[in-house]
Structure 1
Amino acid sequence: MVKEKTKKKKKLGPGVCNFCGKKQPLCYICPNCGFTICQRCFIEHQKLFTQNGITWLCINCSSWHTL
């Protein structure tokens, strides 16, 4: 029996922020839907995305992820 390796989806990296629309070197990426938020927007609007600073809520698909 051969076990297939599943490729982990990226959770952090460069991308275009879906919140401000700018290309940023560090973004949080939702592995479920691909929603991308840059670190600057995340910090500025922290109350929308996190309550404890350890996990964040994807506002696109409503799933929780660790930082």
Structure 2
Amino acid sequence: MAPVPTPPAQPDDAPDSYVGLDAAGAELQARERGWSTVRSLPPGAIITMEYRAGRLNFEVRDGRVARCWKG
């Protein structure tokens, strides 16, 4: 039987800390903290819901992060 793969580590970071920041600054900060993928989305965007370790999602409204979540 094949071993169960270990997902890559992701930063120990609080997604709520990005809410209210401007989108460009938040993305830069996230990458500096070790997030390998940062995804900016408009409100109500239709997205795939698979969980990806190392990805941080931003919902951006009027140039600011309105919501943030891992995966």
TM-score range, shorter chain: 0.3 to 0.5
Structure that is richer in strand per residue: 1
More helix, by proportion: 2
Please report the TM-score for the alignment, with normalisation by the length of structure 1: 0.33
Give me the TM-score of the superposition, normalised by structure 2: 0.32
Which one scores higher on RCO, CA 8 angstroms, separation ≥ 6?
2
